[in-house]
């Protein structure tokens, strides 16, 4: 294991955080839009 693991961990954390945040934001908007259609 070399000293670059910090960059690797940061990179994978950024990837997981970005994709999860985008997915959750999309999901929430979709639920709100579906509720709106049901109004």
Phi–psi pair at 2, nearest 5 degrees: -105, 180
Residue 26 C-beta-side C-alpha neighbours within 13 Å: 6
Binding site for other proteins (CB under 8 A): 1-5, 7-8, 10-12, 14-15, 18-19, 22-23, 26-27, 29-30, 33-34, 36-37
Which stretches of 1-39 are assigned E, i.e. beta strand? none
């Amino acid at each position: 294991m070399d000293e670059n693991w910090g960059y690797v961990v940061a990179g994978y954390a950024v990837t997981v955080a970005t994709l999860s945040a985008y997915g959750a934001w999309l999901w929430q908007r979709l639920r709100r839009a579906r509720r709106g259609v049901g109004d």
